Amino acid sequence: MKKGWLIALAVVAVIGFWGVGTYNSLVSMNVGIDTSWSQVQVQYQRRFDLIPNLVETVKGVANFEKSTYVAVTEARSAWAKAMQSGTRSEQIAATDNVQSALSRLLVTVENYPQLKANENFKELQAQIEGTENRVSVARKDFNESIQPYNIKIQTFPSSLVARLFGFEKGAFFGSQAGAESAPKVNFGTP
C-alpha cells in the first residue's frame, strides 16, 4: 500500500515538474516572440521617421503627383494609429499599406531624372533601401521565433499545457496579395 502511494506521488511529481517546465518554456518562447516583434517595430519606426524626409526632398525637387503624397501621408498616419491601439494583425496591415504607398512614391520618382540626380535624394533613397532590408531581416527573425513556439503549442503533450493556460498560435508575416507577380514599371512609353 505504502509503495503504491509513493509511486503515485512520484508520477504526480514528474507530471507536475514536466507541466511547470513546459509552461515556463512556452512563456519564454512567447517573450522571445514579443522581443522579435519589438525589433520589427523598431525598424518600422526607422522607416516612418525617414519617410517625411524623403517626401519633403521629393516635393522640393519635383512637382510630383499629389495623390502619391497623400497616400504616403495617410498610410503613415494609419500606421501610427495602429501602433498605439491596434492588434499585431492591424499593425501588420497598416505597414503593408505604407509599404505599398512608399513603392508608388519610388516609382513616381523614377519619372523625374533631375530628382534621381539630387544628392539628398540619393542619400535618403539609400537609407530607405537599407531600412527595407532591415525590416525584411526583422520580419524573418520574427517568423523564425514564432515557428518553434507554434510547433510546441500544437504538439502533444505540450499542447495540453498550452491549451490549459490559453497560449494561442502566433501569426506569421506573409507576402501581400499579388506579391507573386512582378511589379510593372511604366515610364509613359508605349
In-domain check, residue 132: yes
Q: Which residue has the cell 526583422?
A: 138
Q: Among 2-11, 56-65, 158-167, 179-188, which is the least confidently predicted range? A: 179-188
Residue range 130-148: average pLDDT? 83
Q: Which residue has the cell 532591415?
A: 134
In-domain check, residue 135: yes
Nearest in space to 158 (alpha carbons), one of 12, 13, 7, 15: 15
Query: Over 80: is that where the pLDDT of 189 sits?
Result: no
In-domain check, residue 28: yes
Q: For residue range 103-136, what is the model confidence (pLDDT) as tens digits?
A: 767 666 666 655 555 666 677 777 778 878 888 8
Residue 172: pLDDT band by 50, 70, 90 thresholds? confident
Cβ atoms of 142 and 36 within 8 Å: the answer is yes
Q: What CA–CA distance (Å, rounded) separates 183 from 159?
A: 42
In-domain check, residue 148: yes
Q: Specify the number of domains making up the chain.
A: 1
CATH number of the domain that 117 lies in?
Answer: 1.20.1440.20
Residue 190: pLDDT band by 50, 70, 90 thresholds? very low
Residue range 4-27: average pLDDT? 87
Q: What is the pTM of this model?
A: 0.53
Question: How high is the pLDDT of residue 33?
Answer: 85
Residue range 52-63: average pLDDT? 65
Q: Among 8-17, 54-63, 133-142, which is the least confidently predicted range? A: 54-63
Domain assignment of residue 14, given as a range: 2-164
Length of the chain in residues, anyone?
A: 190
Query: Over 60: is that where the pLDDT of 179 sits?
Result: no
**How high does pLDDT run on average in the chain?**
75
Question: How high is the pLDDT of residue 180?
Answer: 54
Nearest in space to 54 (alpha carbons), one of 75, 39, 69: 69
In-domain check, residue 190: no
In-domain check, residue 122: yes
In-domain check, residue 173: no
Cell of 122: 540619393
Packing angle between helix 119-154 and helix 88-110, nearest 10 degrees?
150
In-domain check, residue 177: no
Residue 185: pLDDT band by 50, 70, 90 thresholds? very low
